[in-house]
Chain A
Amino acid sequence: MSRKQLALVIDLNICVGCHACVTSCKEWNTSGWAGPLSDTDPYGADPLGVFFNRVQTFEAGEFPHTETIHFPKSCLHCEEPPCVPVCPTGASFKREEDGIVLVDYDKCIGCKYCSWNCPYGVREFDTKQGVMKKCTLCADRIYDETLPEDRRKPACVLACPAGARSFGDISNPTSEVSQAIRDNAGFQIMPEMGTQPANHYLPRRKTKLVIHDDELMRADNPLLKEGELPRPQLSEPFLDDVTSW
């Protein structure tokens, strides 16, 4: 991999499922290049809005050995995006220069072939506008030179309070995201599909503490100073009294 490929790396060891990324994405993008992100029945029964990024929460294992996993998911900007070749109009495309997968609404006819072909379910159809929408990695932020350099990041990354999301070029082995993937066994989801998702996830890592029995008692145990630890009474027999050699 040598061509630039921008991507998100999401640390499942840190994500608390707070949804900051979900609504920050929505607020940036609804009034941005890819907007609006419509909401159908926003105040009625079963409201249904366009969100480029969603958090799915699931459980693994049985009580009490249960893990609760918060799993944020947006377009993975695949190296081999299955959504692109099926697009009859060329609206769905992968940008050469940075690997971002985008949709040109002017060309989109709303046939939804792309979403049928996306194994990850991350494309969002806007019923109002009749076009397919999706995560752009905030393509209208990350190159905006009117923004301070450290704010030229996707809104979800800027928002994430726990710092579970990072953004960068995974084809550059010295980038922060590449290093995070290498160091922490970062993985792609559903690699068997051959899509080579650019976004990676970092797995749960457990920190454990092992305490040896002999660490519990130390020579400077305060109970010794308080005279609380048992000492044999002088009236009790001692080995010293009965051994002669």
Chain B
Amino acid sequence: MKDPRDACDSAQGRSEVKTTTCYMCACRCGIRVHLRDGEVRYIEGNPNHPLNQGVICAKGASGIMKQYSPGRLLKPLKRKEGAERGTGQFEPIEWAEAFQMLEERLGRIRATDPRKFALYTGRDQMQALTGLFAKQFGTPNYAAHGGFCSVNMAAGMIYTIGGSFWEFGGPDLDRAKLFIMIGTAEDHHSNPMKIALGKFKKRGGRVIAVNPVRTGYAAIADEWVPIRPGTDGALFLALIHETIELGLFDRDFLIQYTNSAELVDQNDESDEFGLFVRTGEPVDPGCFDPQNKLWWDLASDQPTPSRKPGTEGRLLGSYKLADGRKVKPAFQLLKDRVKTFTPEWAEGITGIPADTIRRLAHEMGVTARDHKIELPIAWTDCWGKEHDTVTGNPVAFHAMRGLAAHSNGFHTIRALSILMTLLGTIDRPGGFRHRAPFPRPIPPCAKPPKRPEAVQPNEPLAGMLLGWPAEPDDLFVDQEGGPVRLDKGFSWEYPLSVHGLMHNAITNAWRGDPYPIDTLMLFMANMAWNSSMNTVEIRKMLVDKAEDGTYKIPFLVVCDAFHSETVDFADLVLPDTTYLERHDVMSLLDRPISEFDGPVDSVRIPVLPPSGDSKPFQEVLIELGSRLKLPAFVTAKGERKFRDYPDFIVNYETEPGSGIGFLAGWRGKGGERFMSGEPNPQQWDMYARNDNHFHYELPRSYQYMRNWNKGYLQWARHHRLIRYDEPILLHVYSEVLQKFRLAAEGKTKGRQPPDHLRERIKTFMDPLPFYYAPLEWRYSDPIQYPLSAITQRPMAMYHSWDSQNAWLRQIHTDNYLFLHPKVGHSNGFKDGDWIWVESPWGKVRCRARFSESVEPGTVWTWNAIGKGSGNWGLKPDANESKKGFLLNHLINEEIPCPAKGKDSPISNSDPVTGQAAWYDVRVRVYKADPHEPEETWPRFETKGALPGMIPFTKRVRNFFAGRKEG
């Protein structure tokens, strides 16, 4: 062999290096793709990209095997004439036919009843475009996967602090000293979190992980605090209790920057009970949270307008206004609320010893108080006060689905947000920091339509598909208070369902409740498999027929790059490209990749041509939008406006002449403007020359305290990120929730909930956080089903995406149910045995793996490793379908709703936000009969490769870029 030092890699064949943006998960790192003779040779992190700074993860580095996977769909397909749906029998067609079918069908729906078209998408990163298409079409039935992912995290935090974890903000580990991770998914935020965590640990920062299992990030924590699933809210309330009792809260921060000191009406009889006492006219009447409130001044012992110069609000006490009204500062109400939530109380619920809870509170409180950071950055607050420094309390948190995916998640996350607020850590160094376009007003201005008339034939939807209700009047309901959306989002059942309830779309459409639909289009959403709860029944619904022999969901369109389990159920299959084969944008109109120091957006630029007849879904939507003559896609004369997706990205404006488009960088004719400006024909090139991203670094004085930073808010308003530059006070007390409660109590004159939902609204729309056991637990016997079952996200696999990937599937080929040895011993099975795991709703046969890294009341497995036999380009005997399994079969998408009557179930979701409560499930485990086959159950019919797919037939894959032999 030659000496490797002489084997200069780039001299082997024709070498090219192209840059684009990764899409092996939702992290969206910058990558450099090295090609050899046109084949992908090496994908490395782009050192010039702010997100990943040159690193790459296991998924990103395996992009080669995604590109060359035999699971790729390469032809449009339609279900064979006469073949039953779900049997995977297709015939290949041309795009022209596919478009014609869609144009006719969707055109008819749009002209008659646009509600009958429903579009739901997975973790697609293009919600700005898919949402635009649906809105222009005029259907209210659109959502992405947020409803079953982490909407509680978004809603719970945004309704409290005006920002949230993940794309919208995160822990400032550069400056933190103590970092607490609770219920984190190890893919959220993948590389940035790992980079930050590594640096933090090297600097000697202390990490505490609160989680039922110790894997991934929790593995390197200095302390692991095991907790029972679904009980985090009790932990936070006890931490708040201890923080308040000991005075470990940041009083100055609470008084000035939150609504803690503001006075709340306490007259039981009043129609304004629980609302802030308002005085005079607000400065900006359009703003939802105007500042015309009162506090009780410490020195004069009198009520004064809050933040009046020379006054200082009291946080505690009970007062009477001159007119006799009883009032209390919001903070006093919080203190009253947590009075009985002692560490001892929480110990009984969480399983965490009271002493540990107390110590955690002390660590947080003392670190926040005694390790103050002071940066020499002058800034001016909204009230005109000039500050010489920015200060911070170095306690940072990160949390994700472990809190969110429970039916009590919203209040749990409200409690966490309030704890972070008490410690004075919001948008300050060492704590939580926002990412543009956040912070946004609480709640943000976008609102869903208010009534069914928003849907009209041949008209765009009059309102936003997803938005942020601020009061009952913002709900999307009909005269009787019934839902307008198929998924019942923004109805009284789930008032703040800000990401929709995709997880109920199929069940509702099948049942015809609230109404039947005609066409369901799914993009990258594996709803017949891991993206549904109750998968077995969902699959039956997809093929169920009415008495007349027609399918209850008449037409199903699936767009995906790979042969997922859902593809087999399609009537029409649209083959998508991979991320290396297309243009794409990570837009500020969607979920951008902003940094703490300012807005960032980015693009994908194709590295390779589309394989086979695959077509980017972006192009499909532009084509369909043009054919259907949706206003945004055609000229006033009805002619096609955009040549293709890249042309659309450059020239589309939210309104004619608005200057706001999908990309914020290099706007204006010559690329001289940013955030807003005229379309720039050279915009793509300018992104390409700048490593595919635009990063605007805010002046240092605008980088902190942004909720109340005059300069920042004016900047953000000037660049039209936010409509109001009023201070965004943190909502320790949520007047928004109280307004819903008042309606349920019949105290408001506006919209009233249907009677059967009054009690539910009254209970759950509580202006202060509280703990309640997950709702499903009311319907499963705790003796019979004593264990909680949850999933964890492996770092080397994203959703169900990568079993088709020859390298990644070798890391997670199949999965076990992890449980504490004690659970095995008491149920009579051993490590490695085949067992049954059973919930009240279903059962699964799988293998047991004993583990000491799991809280003994919990069993868990890796998410979405199990696959349908023959799907994803895998052979029928692949481990994924023989030994791999889904927990989804154990989880119901609905629970009984006593108030609605026996036959009217309600979504198994958080009653505030509609977040799918898939971590609530309770199970039992027992040994499988030795005579049973040693394979997973339930099993489904084996599927074969679809027309146009190129199966891998050799025994060995010897991938070597450039040899075309993979």
Contacts and interface: CB of A to CB of B under 8 A. Distances in A.
Interface of A: 11, 13-20, 22-24, 26-28, 30-49, 51, 59, 61-64, 66-70, 102, 104-106, 127-128, 136, 139-141, 143-144, 146, 150-151, 155, 158-164, 204, 206-209, 211, 215-218, 221-229
Interface stretch (B79-87, B705-713, B801-809): B801-809
Interface string B882-916: 10000000000000000000000000000000000
Given A18-B58, A63-B852, A211 B9 contact: no
9 contacts: A16-B217, A19-B811, A22-B58, A27-B42, A32-B7, A43-B809, A63-B226, A70-B219, A207-B206
A163 B54 CA distance: 11
Given A42-B806, A43-B70, A158-B45, A207 B811 contact: no
Nearest to B877: A45
Contact of A161 (B195, B220, B874): B195
A30 B201 CA distance: 33
B369 A159 contact: no
A142 B372 CA distance: 44
B43 A68 contact: no
Nearest to B796: A19
Q: Which 9 A-B pairs have the closest CB atoms?
A: A162-B198, A222-B251, A161-B194, A19-B58, A42-B806, A223-B247, A139-B4, A68-B219, A31-B961
Contact of A31 (B190, B811, B957, B960): B960
A70 B366 CA distance: 32
A151 B9 CA distance: 13
Nearest to A42: B806
Interface string B61-88: 1101000001000000000000000000
B570 to A, nearest CB: 22
Contact of B955 (A40, A63, A206): A40
Contacts of A209: 178, 206, 363, 367
Interface of B: 1-2, 4-5, 7-11, 36, 41-45, 47, 52, 54-62, 64, 70, 178, 186, 190-191, 194-195, 197-199, 201-202, 204-207, 214-220, 222, 224, 226, 246-249, 251, 298, 314-317, 359, 362-363, 365-367, 369-370, 795-796, 804, 806-811, 813, 820, 851-856, 873-875, 877-879, 882, 952, 955-962
B45 A16 contact: no
B251 A63 contact: no
Contact of A18 (B5, B11, B796, B853): B796
Nearest to A136: B4
A234 B156 CA distance: 46
Contacts, number: 270
B314 A31 contact: no
Given A31-B961, A39-B807, A158-B45, A45 B219 contact: no
A18 B7 CA distance: 30
Nearest to A218: B369
Nearest to A143: B5
Contact of B795 (A19, A43, A47): A19
Nearest to B246: A216
Contacts of B813: 46-47
Given A64-B226, A207-B205, A158 B54 contact: yes
B341 to A, nearest CB: 18
A151 B34 CA distance: 14
Nearest to A145: B8
A206 B222 contact: yes
A62 to B, nearest CB: 5
A22 B812 CA distance: 13
A128 B856 CA distance: 45
B55 A159 contact: yes
B820 A162 contact: no
Given A34-B4, A38-B957, A68-B214, 4 more contacts: A13-B220, A32-B9, A37-B959, A47-B813
A46 to B, nearest CB: 6
A211 B362 contact: yes
Contacts of A14: 197-198, 201-202, 220
A43 B966 CA distance: 13
A74 to B, nearest CB: 15
A215 B246 CA distance: 11
Contacts of B9: 32-33, 140-141, 144, 146
Question: How would you classify the secondary structure of chain A's contact residues: helix, strand, loop or mixed?
Answer: loop
Contacts of B808: 23
A32 B219 CA distance: 33
A17 B792 CA distance: 14
Contacts of B367: 209
B56 A42 contact: no
A146 B10 contact: yes
A20 B218 contact: no
Contacts of B59: 23
A66 B224 contact: yes
Nearest to A163: B198
B765 to A, nearest CB: 29
A39 B959 contact: yes
Given A64-B226, A68-B218, A209-B178, A217 B246 contact: yes
A31 B962 contact: yes
Contacts of B359: 211
A52 B186 CA distance: 25
A160 B363 CA distance: 31
A160 B61 CA distance: 11
A65 to B, nearest CB: 9
A35 B960 contact: yes
B219 A23 contact: no
Contact of A27 (B8, B10, B64, B875): B64
Nearest to A225: B251
A159 B44 contact: yes
B796 A162 contact: no
Contacts of B194: 16, 18, 161-162
A49 B70 contact: no
Nearest to B370: A215
Contacts of B215: 17, 68
B222 A207 contact: yes
Contacts of B957: 38-39, 42
Contacts of B810: 39, 47-49, 51
Contacts of A102: 4
Contact of A63 (B61, B247, B853): B853
A44 B955 CA distance: 9
Nearest to B809: A47
B883 to A, nearest CB: 9
B796 A139 contact: no
A59 B806 contact: no
Contacts of B222: 206-208
Given A18-B57, A226-B315, A43 B806 contact: yes
A41 B953 CA distance: 9
Contacts of A63: 226, 820, 852-856
Contacts of A62: 852
Contacts of B877: 44-45
A59 B218 CA distance: 13
B214 A40 contact: no
A53 B369 CA distance: 45
B314 A207 contact: no
A33 B4 contact: yes
Given A63-B856, A66-B852, A47 B806 contact: yes
A24 B56 contact: yes
Contacts of B7: 32-33, 140
A59 B851 contact: yes
A139 B875 CA distance: 36
Nearest to A105: B1
Nearest to A137: B4
B952 A17 contact: no
Nearest to B353: A64
A61 B4 contact: no
Contacts of A47: 806, 809-810, 813, 879
Contacts of A41: 875, 955-956
A173 B840 CA distance: 63
B875 A45 contact: yes
